[in-house]
Amino acid sequence: MPPPAPDRFYVTTPIYYVNDVPHIGHAYNTVTCDAAARWHRLLGDDVWFLTGTDEHGLKVQRAAEANGRTPKEQADITSERFKDTWRLLNVSHDDFIRTTEPRHYTSVQQFLQRVHDNGDIYLGTYEGLYCVSCEAYYNEDDLVDGNCPIHKRPVDFLSEENYFFRLSKYTQPLFDWYEANPEAVFPEGKRNEALGLIRQGLQDISISRTSITWGVPVPWDEKHVFYVWYDALINYATAVGYGDDRSRFEQWWPAVHHVIGKDIIRFHCVYWPAMLLAAGEEPPHRIGVHGFLLAGGEKISKSGLNTTQISPQDLADEVGVDAVRHHLLRNPFGPDGEFSFEGLVARYNADLANNFGNLASRVATVVGKKCGGVGPAPASDSPLADVARQVYDDTAQGWADLQPAAALDATWRLIRETNSYLEANEPWKAEPGPALDAVLGDALEALRIVAVLASPALPDACDELWRRIGLSGLPAEQRLPDAAAWGQYPGGLAVEKGEPLFPRK
């Protein structure tokens, strides 16, 4: 398989169910994709960032009934809530797909018609145990005390005539794909989990329903609608032109990076690549799998009691949007992570108030007092120049690995070392002159680089810092790696102290 062009970065969140409102677990996924998309835009890559809502299926139909709405009304209202939350969190998606849009119906019908024409879909009878919350069938063995292992609620017994996808036929092609693409699914533990599912043996899967009508009709047999998951997965293809504009589709596919939670590994890392192969398309380039955010050891969820305490809006009101984003991104990608308000505030104070904010404010204060508010230029042989080089390499590696926590940790090294450099040189005690100018110029240059490197995580604060150190006259669009090269702070610019960027909490 030829590798995708290096300058194309198509990144997707899962599409969220519209049975209830967005919570911080969803924000974790979406902000991770947003920051990665912003980083790739800084690199000058061609970026397409997709998010959206998953609007069919029994779960949404039941939520609509409970709310006295039609499913479409339920979807219209809740998809707006998701859009509002992403607007609030400064999410820069290029497209928001809703699975009830006509473009998606066309694409799903074409995609699955193709699989049908290839002989990989047949009619059969399905009997099984079904969890409405997961929208998935379970085997008896999967249940915990007779309940769904994820939602811990009773499952329903269903029997119906379904169309089946010949997943079993794709066992070997999937093994071959995993072997040829050892980095496609990451981190490694999650890749092993996906391989384990394939090793357990793959049975054909039921992909249609006659018992509900809230779905995309099966084009060759309109008594059936596609089961929600098989329409949902295809959203990633729809959004880049599948079924409508083949050359656009080929521009982005398979350069796609799916970011998903660990509960949907089976669908994304087994069923989806197999469906793509069956439709004659390439499997995805990469699938990054993250753990859950937990509150008091339990998965944060819409149905759980903990939703209201941790709505993204409440958190943003408390500490600001950038601080919420930063906190989510500092959670290592892969394992589960505990989320608490106390943890958010502690990290805010440590990383943002005491480190980042403090550096910005002490530099502006000394420039104000000793240089009449005019920032000097950096020294070309500054000891911070080497640090900045290393920091850029490590930050870039962190983003390339989709490890925002590692990337930010690397960027913060420049902040810490610049703070230490100031403490060692004590410019606040020095007399005005070339030595003082060099120290302050170095610190301003470090701040300039930080304002670029940290901007995927903290877009507003970095813009504000850029403005305060007098750089508004420079193009706002910076390009990496050039923008990270040492020595570009021009000097002679007005530096403004302003209010603290991150007041202590």
Q: Provide the annotated active-site residues.
A: 23, 26, 131, 134, 148, 151, 299, 302
Tell me the chain's radius of gyration from C-alpha atoms.
25
CB closer to ligand MSP out of 299 and 327: 299
Residues between 178 and 237 that touch ligand MSP (CB under 6 A): 232-233, 235
CB closer to ligand MSP out of 261 and 427: 261
Among 10, 16, 177, 214, binds ligand MSP (CB under 6 A): 16
Taking contact as CB under 6 A, which single stretch among the options 8-16, 190-198, 383-391, 429-437 is the one that binds ligand MSP?
8-16
CB closer to ligand MSP out of 132 and 366: 132
Residues between 382 and 401 that touch ligand MSP (CB under 6 A): none
Among 8, 11, 14, 285, binds ligand MSP (CB under 6 A): 14
Q: How far is CA 321 from the centre of its chain?
A: 16
Handedness of CA 50, 240, 255, 452 (dihedral sign): negative
CB closer to ligand MSP out of 340 and 365: 340
Q: Quick check: 26 binds ligand MSP (CB under 6 A)?
A: yes
Burial zone of 222 (CB within 10 Å; 0-12 exposed, 13-18 middle, 19+ buried): exposed
Q: Quick check: 299 binds ligand MSP (CB under 6 A)?
A: yes
Among 63, 198, 205, 264, binds ligand MSP (CB under 6 A): 264
Residues sharing a CB contact under 8 Å with residue 34, sequence separation 6 or more, in sequence order: 49, 89, 90, 91, 92, 93, 325, 456
Among 263, 401, 409, 463, binds ligand MSP (CB under 6 A): 263
Among 17, 82, 249, 412, binds ligand MSP (CB under 6 A): 17
Q: Quick check: 260 binds ligand MSP (CB under 6 A)?
A: yes
Q: Quick check: 300 binds ligand MSP (CB under 6 A)?
A: yes
Q: How far apart are CA 264 and CA 113, in angstroms?
A: 24
Size of the site for ligand MSP (CB under 6 A): 21
Q: How far apart are CA 40 and CA 6, in angstroms?
A: 11
Do residues 447 and 359 touch, judged by C-beta distance below 8 A?
yes
Q: Quick check: 29 binds ligand MSP (CB under 6 A)?
A: yes
Q: How far apart are CA 274 and CA 198, in angstroms?
A: 11
Q: Quick check: 136 binds ligand MSP (CB under 6 A)?
A: no
Do residues 461 and 321 touch, judged by C-beta distance below 8 A?
no
Do residues 210 and 223 touch, judged by C-beta distance below 8 A?
yes
Among 25, 215, 241, 459, binds ligand MSP (CB under 6 A): 25
Q: Is the peptide bond before 4 cis (omega within 30 degrees of 0)?
A: no
Query: Per DSSP, which regions of 281-392 are E strands?
Result: 286-290, 293-295, 298-299, 337-338, 374-375
Is 432 in a helix, a strand, or coil? coil
List contacts with ligand MSP (CB under 6 A).
14-17, 25-26, 28-29, 54, 232-233, 235, 260-261, 263-264, 292-293, 299-301
